[in-house]
Amino acid sequence: MAAHTITFTVNGAPETALVHSHTTLLAFLREQLGLTGTKNGCSTGECGACTVLLNGEPVNACLVLAVEIDGAELVTVEGLAHDGQLEPLQQAFIDHTGTQCGFCTPGILIAARALLNRNPDPTEAEIKDALRGNLCRCTGYMRIIDAVKDAARTGG
Ligand code: FES
Ligand code: FES
């Protein structure tokens, strides 16, 4: 089984790791780096629970191989808070009860973060479009959309 050395940054920290060629980015994050905030819902690119930022773009980590992140910059849900402080987007999810069981929340936060990074003042339609790949079985989605709207309003 082939193994490869990769270098990358995750949540701002430089890292080097040895990965097998078949290991997914999702398994690598959770099992080798211990970054278990990124969730495994379906393993097939359907649910969005595993969404991370890869060079600023949201991707399903279950569909990316770990070897593909060589030289890349990754952000996971663990990288959203700074110095123990939630970022405004995370606080908005709390304020609007945008999270219930929480399983979808890391992926939705990352997808919403990607949207607000490229479009700080999205319409409701743009929010829905940005989150179309993220499934939530609990909230009914409106609270999530309200949270993203609020974060945009407050510059989050
Ligand atoms: S676990 Fe990756 S999309 Fe569902
Ligand atoms: S809060 Fe439970 S799946 Fe979204």
Domain boundaries, the chain: 3-79, 88-153
Ligand whose nearest atom lies closest to the CA of 24: 1
The 8 Å CB, 24+ separation contacts for 14-17 are 17/66
Cα of 144 vs centre of ligand 2, distance in Å, is 10
Three-state SS for 46-84 is CCCCCEEEECCEEEEHHHCEHHHHCCCEEECHHHCCECC
Identify any residues that bridge with 93 across adjacent strands, giving them in sequence order. none
Decide which of 1.10.150.120, 3.40.50.300, 3.40.1350.10, 2.40.110.10 is the CATH code for 88-153: 1.10.150.120
Q: Which CATH architecture has domain 3-79?
A: Roll (3.10)
Model pLDDT for residues 130-148, shown as the tens digit of each residue: 999 999 999 999 999 999 9
Cα of 33 vs centre of ligand 2, distance in Å, is 24
Predicted confidence at residue 87, as pLDDT, reads 95
74 C-beta closer than 6 A to ligand 1: no
User: Which ligand 1 atom is at minimum distance from the Cα of 39?
Assistant: 1
CA angle 150, 154, 156 (to 5 degrees): 85
pTM: 0.97
Q: What is the mean pLDDT of residues 41-67?
A: 98
